[in-house]
């Protein structure tokens, strides 16, 4: 608004200046005309009238007439401009300057306004450039990860195909080997060899191999084998087999051969020598394992019970600090009346685990100094680790 007021003021001042200049000019022309007329009258009075003077007079009159016309025209124009508010040529220059200044000021205001709008709309700067770079880098990394995953999948498919090819090759090789063996056998028979003996040998070898595989499978399942059972031909003997043989020997010599029902090396428990004892000889064997000078198993490292549904079982792991050796003994119990002698008189460390087995499985350890529940409480109904356990209070 202040810019528009300045322009109007400049226009008014320029119009006033132009009007004053035109009035001064008209006044000067009128004075010149009056002087010329006075001079002409003075010459007429003096009687000076020559052709040269007449010509001069005519020129002066024409000039005065032209000046008067110009003054009249200028005056009419001034009146017209004053009424229309237009300025003279000098005012046009002032107007142009004023218009240029106003235009520059308007441009500056527009620029400032545009800048404010740009800042308000979140105009991008160096921080936006950094954000763009980060976004581009993240997109690039994501694309690389997708490409890597796709390549891995393709590699996996290729690997599976390679495995299938390897299996197919192995199968083909086995078939070829079998065919070659059959051809060799046929050739030997054709050449008059003793085919009956060869067949008998092959059958015996196959039976021995099958028996060894069955025995190894039974041992791995935890079923054990006969105490005198020899390891499979293809299996590597356990480094703890001599210890097991030693335990079996001394027990059979001092307690009896019937005391040990089964024996085996437990591969799943770091080749633990394991003895399955007859229930009637359980306490005797445990006592002998502790007090025999050759054995000296003076520490109970583990004792727990298990419900196999067909029977109960107590597992005890013993350790000899003197010999740095370990042995495990097991005993099978009747599931309806699971009772066995307590080992607390031999090892005080059996006290707590026997109470736990009684609490959770209901196994009675005869001779225990204080057999009681340690988890469920004496009023609890049933034993939670039995396979047929049903809670007395289903909401608990």
Distance between first and last Cα of the chain:
87
The string of pLDDT tens digits covering residues 233-261 is 456 889 999 999 999 999 999 999 999 99
Under-70 pLDDT residues of the chain: 1-5, 40-57, 78, 80-94, 114, 116-132, 155-166, 168, 172-178, 180-210, 216-235, 393-396
* Separation between Cα atoms, residue 29 and residue 25, nearest integer Å: 6
Instruction: Give the β-pairing of 272-277 and 299-307.
Output: unpaired
Domains of the chain (ranges; CATH) run 1-33+58-103 (no CATH), 237-366 (3.30.460.80)
Q: Phi and psi dihedrals of 313, rounded to 5? A: -145, 140
Q: Residue 106 half-sphere exposure, CB side, CA atoms within 13 Å? A: 10
Query: For residue 277, what are its two tokens?
Result: 């004892």
The position carrying tokens 């404010």 is 116
- Output the six-digit token pair for 75: 């005056």
E strands present in the chain: 260-266, 272-277, 299-307, 312-320, 325-333, 339-341, 364-366
Residue with tokens 């450039």: 129
Output phi, psi for 343, to 5 deg. -100, 5
pLDDT of 272-296, one tens digit each? 999 999 999 999 999 999 999 989 9
């Amino acid at each position: 608004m202040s810019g528009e007021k300045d322009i109007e003021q400049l226009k008014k001042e320029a119009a006033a200046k132009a009007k004053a200049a035109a009035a001064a000019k008209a006044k000067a022309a009128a004075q010149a005309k009056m002087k010329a007329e006075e001079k002409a009258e003075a010459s007429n009075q003096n009687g000076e009238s020559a052709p040269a003077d007449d010509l001069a007079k005519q020129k002066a009159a024409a000039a005065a007439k032209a000046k008067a016309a110009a003054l009249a025209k200028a005056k009419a124009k001034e009146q017209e401009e004053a009424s229309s508010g237009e300025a003279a040529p000098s005012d046009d220059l002032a107007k142009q300057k004023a218009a240029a200044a106003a235009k520059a000021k308007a441009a500056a205001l527009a620029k400032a306004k545009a800048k404010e709008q740009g800042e308000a709309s979140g105009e991008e700067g160096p921080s936006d450039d950094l954000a763009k770079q980060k976004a581009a880098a993240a997109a690039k990394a994501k694309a690389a990860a997708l490409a890597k995953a796709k390549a891995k999948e393709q590699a996996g498919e290729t690997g599976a195909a390679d495995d299938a090819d390897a299996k197919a090759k192995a199968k083909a090789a086995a078939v070829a080997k079998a065919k070659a063996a059959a051809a060799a056998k046929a050739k030997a028979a054709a050449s008059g060899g003793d085919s009956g003996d060869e067949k008998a040998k092959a059958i015996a070898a196959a039976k021995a191999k099958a028996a060894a595989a069955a025995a190894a499978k039974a041992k791995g399942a935890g079923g054990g084998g006969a105490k005198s059972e020899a390891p499979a031909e293809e299996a590597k003997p356990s480094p703890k087999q001599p210890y097991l043989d030693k335990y079996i020997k001394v027990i059979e010599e001092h307690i009896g051969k019937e005391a040990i029902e089964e024996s085996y090396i437990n591969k799943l428990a770091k080749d633990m020598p394991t003895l399955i004892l007859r229930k009637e000889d359980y306490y005797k064997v445990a006592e002998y394992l502790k007090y025999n000078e050759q054995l000296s198993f003076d520490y109970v490292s583990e004792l727990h019970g298990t419900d196999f549904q067909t029977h109960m079982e107590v597992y005890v792991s013993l350790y000899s600090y003197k010999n740095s050796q370990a042995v495990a003994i097991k005993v099978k119990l009747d599931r309806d009346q699971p009772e066995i002698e307590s080992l607390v008189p031999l090892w005080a460390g059996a006290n707590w685990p026997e109470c736990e087995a009684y609490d959770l499985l209901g196994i009675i350890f005869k001779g225990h100094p204080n057999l009681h529940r340690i988890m469920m409480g004496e009023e609890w109904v049933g034993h939670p680790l039995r396979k047929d356990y049903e809670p007395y209070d289903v909401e608990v």
